[in-house]
Amino acid sequence: MVHFDPYDHATHDDPYPIYRELRDKAPVYYSETYKLWVLSRYDDCSRAVRDFKSFCNKYGVAIDEAKEQMPTVLTVDPPDHTRLRHLIAGMFTPDAVKPLEDSVRVMARELLAPHLESGRMDVIGDFAARLPMAIICRLLGFQREDEDKLRHWTDLVVQRDEAATEMPQHAITATLALYEYFEKDMAERARHPVKDDLVAHLMASEKEGKLSHAEVLGYLYILSIAGNETTTKLIGNMTYQLNKNRSELDLLLKDRSLLPSAVEETMRYDGPTQLMGRSLARDVEFHGQTLKAGDRAILLFMSANRDDRHYADPDRYDIRRNPRDHLGFGGGLHACLGAALARLEAKVAMEEILDAMPDFAVDEGGLSRMHSPSVRGYTHVPVQFTPSARAAHPSEGGRLA
């Protein structure tokens, strides 16, 4: 009998054996404890994300939500989704984010520089936790000095304890703090309308009647949350996997053009977003089993990515595989809006790590993991390396404009 508990810490440590069991023995699993269906095969998850008329987002996508949500692009269905997404989709295409590469690199170098002389650092705490928030704050137009508190609140929003099936109080408090910050920022901009950034763009859209005020707040909320923890965890997971798979690391050290493919393979093999929730808007059948209108379901993207019905030798980390069809960024109309930005950040982050500390080794004893049913990754990835010559020239990349 298969037993799957997405809140179990042992599952967070290594979910892949139970994912395999689910795919092989219970591809349409029902959790009596959490009252939800679990789809785990690639074809089934792929079909579900594309069938938005059956699998809807408006009652939330987190595992613990089944009620009407605040309106973010992620938690509305068409036609509202189409309107919200098209409003800023053009700002997140690969071409649109490409010009940010220099800023990401400068920021990455700034963050790495203070640690290079010592020959040790925490890839998460000192680096990966800070880079994505710095970049999203820059895009949104928030002050640099506010990054730490914004990151603190967004971390609290996604943090979940074992068996906490409701949004915990710390997450509610942090959400309210974020909303208060957004309101204050916009009030200040209304008095001094100077900037041409994402917040300014959203405020202009509200003025033109294309967005309600609640939708502007929802956008700021989702953009602050979605790109922060996930990208941090991707950089941490990639550092860990390259350390564990030294032959793959050697390939990358010899040939940096493999970096985009290595990012893609990390997303497939050990991506941060394990699952997304949906509510059934109508009855739908999978493998002879009916999921009924009103039921909840989770789509196990990271199980889908290890499905041997879709990928050859799926449990092998192979940086030359370039699996562009993985579900690490979801799929269908809610597929990750920030995927190109996340890919760019992870590529530059790893490139800078490899340049500055090519012989890095993860101190496995110091690793610690975050516990959440939906996001998987480390809170600390300590590394040691030969102190770098670059440490003497910390400002070589210039300052972030």
| Pair of tokens at residue 248 | 């793959």
DSSP secondary structure string for all residues of 144-184: GGGHHHHHHHHHHHH---TT--S--HHHHHHHHHHHHHHHH
Q: Is 231 one of the binding residues for ligand HEM (CB under 6 A)?
A: yes
DSSP structure class, residue 387? P
- Give the nearer residue to ligand HEM in terms of CB position, either 49 or 112: 49
Taking CB under 6 A as the binding criterion, the range among 40-48, 219-227, 237-245, 285-293 that sits at the site for ligand HEM is: 219-227
Q: Is 54 one of the binding residues for ligand HEM (CB under 6 A)?
A: no
Show contacts with ligand HEM in window 340-369 (CB under 6 A).
341-342
Q: How far is the CB of 278 from ligand HEM (least distance, A)?
A: 7
User: What mask, x for binding ligand HEM by CB under 6 A, covers residues 129 to 148?
Assistant: -------x------------
Helices (H), 271-338: 301-304
Q: Is 220 one of the binding residues for ligand HEM (CB under 6 A)?
A: no
The 10 Å Cβ neighbour count of residue 233 is 27
Separation of alpha carbons 230 and 136, rounded Å: 13
By the 10 Å C-beta count (0-12 exposed, 13-18 middle, 19+ buried), 392 is classed as exposed
Taking CB under 6 A as the binding criterion, the range among 311-319, 335-343, 366-374, 383-391 that sits at the site for ligand HEM is: 335-343
Q: Cα 221 from chain centroid?
A: 14
Show contacts with ligand HEM in window 269-308 (CB under 6 A).
271-273, 276
Alpha carbon of 73 to those of 77, 94, 222: distances in Å? 8, 19, 8
Q: How far is the CB of 230 from ligand HEM (least distance, A)?
A: 3
Sole binder of ligand HEM in the list 39, 48, 73, 217 (CB under 6 A): 73
Q: Is 334 one of the binding residues for ligand HEM (CB under 6 A)?
A: yes
Q: How far is the CB of 120 from ligand HEM (least distance, A)?
A: 25
Q: Which helix (H) or strand (E) holds 37?
A: strand 36-39
- Give the nearer residue to ligand HEM in terms of CB position, either 49 or 104: 49
Q: Are 234 and 266 in contact (CB under 8 A)?
A: yes
Where along the sequence are the contacts to ligand HEM (CB under 6 A)?
49, 61, 73-74, 85, 136, 222-223, 226-227, 230-231, 234, 271-273, 276, 328-330, 334, 336-338, 341-342
